[in-house]
Structure 1
């Protein structure tokens, strides 16, 4: 259910991240990519003890800060992961294993638009890891980014996005707090994966 004008993602080419170990998926399972210092991840885990969150951060200093806070709180439903998200997702997650995905204030990649999440072939693979009716949440303070993401969701991925302004009182991430405090508008796009949505990776599992 995707357009054919995007190059095909090749998960078999990716090596496992350093020190990778296979995890036991718990349900309902959520994924946050680019967790930063963990503000949203920690709040989500505390507010949703019945849900399990995997929160991935690639930058070492941000991850160390996040991991230290997570250890102090001893949250059994939060897994902090220091890795590049793409190979980690390929090696760790099975098809339809995620109840939700968070992409909160990702790098807008102004010099390399092909690296924006909905522009990447990997996005199809990420969709294959989501369950039917699972929700993907994307937030940004850049209007052109959310406009492009909405267009790609509709035209490239054949999905029905819902875009709206983030409430001024929201404090999910350090970026969000900063942007809203200085009077900027932040946007959110929610995508629900429809029942019966198909990708080329629905049966693909890393061997």
Structure 2
């Protein structure tokens, strides 16, 4: 993995992460539309990753890296502080019976924030209103992040889930959280020592 980051520094592309890339629909589209950015798309489920990786081989996009791993462990080991410009969490498992596993309720979210550059964004999308309500509340109250909440346009096609939900006339929401100037995490203090 250090080779990827070293290559990024040479190319000077913005570094973006997608956690839970599934079969790679958003990742492939994003890489094609953003040649100035490098997307690392992480998927831990073997069958989804295999389908995604197969697609990357036919597309041959130099700005897309598919990673089969648990995102939390991988990010802790592979990413430097303030290295990311964007993080995508598109239609994560809502973990309705275990809210401590929702992204903005997890202590790991603070570590993610330490990897984000000032002005960087985390984009969360879901079709579950209580999930987006909680995420918006946590973003503002716990994490002190400026947010923009909006409905996903009905013609959006970022993921297979998004297409399915919108076709069923379900409302999908997107919450964009921005890391403000001067934002500090406990991990920033730890890195400085």
Distance across 2 between alignment mates of 1:158 and 1:47:
31
Q: Conserved in 2, the CA contact under 8 Å of 1:95 and 1:203?
A: no
Q: Which residue of 2 aligns with 1:181?
A: 167
Q: Deviations over 1:122-172 (max 9, x none)?
A: 000000000000011000000000000000001110112111100000000
Alpha-carbon distance, 1:203 to partner: 5.4
Matched, 1:191 2:177: yes
1:92-111 matches, within 5 Å, as 92-111=78-97
Matched, 1:83 2:69: yes
Q: Which runs of 5+ in 1 are unaligned?
A: 1-20
Distance across 2 between alignment mates of 1:182 and 1:134:
32
Alpha-carbon distance, 1:204 to partner: 4.8
Distance across 2 between alignment mates of 1:188 and 1:204:
32
Distance across 1 between alignment mates of 2:57 and 2:177:
32
Q: Deviations over 1:38-85 (max 9, x none)?
A: 000000001111110000000000000000001110110000000000
Q: Which residue of 1 aligns with 2:187?
A: 201
Between the two proteins, the alignment pairs up a number of residues equal to 185
TM-score normalised to structure 1 length: 0.87
Matched, 1:112 2:98: yes
Higher relative contact order (CA 8 A, sep 6+): 1
